[in-house]
Amino acid sequence: MESLPFLDVRPQIEEAVAAGRPVVALESTLVAHGLPWPLNLETARAAEEAVRTEGAVPATIAVWNGTPTVGLSDGELEELAQCKGVLKASRRDLAVAVSQKRTAATTVAATMFLAHHAGIRLFATGGIGGVHRDAHPWDISADLVELARTPVAVVCAGAKSILDIPRTLEFLETHGVPVVGFGSEEFPAFYVRSSGEPVTARVDTPWAAADLLATHWGLGGAGVVLAQPVGDQVAMEPDEFTVALTSAERLAVGVGVRGKELTPFLLGRLAEITHGQTLRANHILVIANARLAARVATALAEKHCSGYKTEIDN
């Protein structure tokens, strides 16, 4: 793999990757922009702990004072959770963050890119971006493009429920990205357990997921979406969510919010409208996804150590 200038892979991550131990990347936009203080820090720490409990190494990724960094320390994580004015960086924004010596929280697209260059193949997040609904039909997340070109598996609770999920899935299909349901034949919709749309395939164990990933990469494939539904205890009913989202979208149109500011705006309004239910769901699903990613990373590492032939080091 071609080395990436400026990338700081912390020693514990570099050593784990070199030794073939399971490592899970975690994004930082959730910390800086996705959840309020102190829930953001609690969620980030709990996700890292879930990865450790499963025997894998967590690697939270961000741009730290102009340096793309893989494996934030706990102190850096806490500072990021409280810092104001943190840049939200997709892949296109990485050069700006580096050249201007900015601290930036990385989106799914940017985190995938940096994780890949650090040798990490599993990445856990809340939900991927996608194609926005009718009010902004040309607003397509860079997450989808990154999935089409970067060989990293993204473990998530599907696409965020604020998106046009059928269009999102069509984009992924066109660009050769498998959308795999973990324990589900329907694609989950973040706060809602099912979007009603079918997935490419279903797997029911981390070992089966690892086998599919290894085969996909062995065939020269790029990204994979591994989606598991949010837990029953915090999931929203579809009709209830639709009412809340419609109200939040009206507010967004009224104040002219669009582009990369639209998603955090809608998520913030949804938290208010649902009296915190969406925040609770977000917290729970992020931790669950980190745990699943660690289990799949462990199974993939075991396959690699046992001589299972793939192209995962290309």
**β-pairing, 8-9 with 67-70?**
parallel
Phi and psi based region of residue 119 (left: phi greater than 0; alpha: psi -120 to 50; beta: remaining): left
What letter would DSSP give residue 237? P
Distance of CA 214 to the CA centre of its chain: 20
Among candidate residues 76, 160, 249, 303, the one labeled active-site is 160
Residues 79 and 85: their CA atoms lie apart, in Å, by 12
Q: Which residues contact 252 (CB under 8 A, 6 or more apart)?
A: 135, 258, 262, 265, 266, 269
Residues 125 and 106: their CA atoms lie apart, in Å, by 11
Among candidate residues 27, 48, 76, 249, the one labeled active-site is 27
What letter would DSSP give residue 91? G
Residues 268 and 146: their CA atoms lie apart, in Å, by 26
How many CA atoms, within 13 angstroms, populate the side-chain half-sphere of residue 166?
A: 3
2 catalytic per annotation: no
88 catalytic per annotation: no
The residues annotated as belonging to the active site are 27, 160
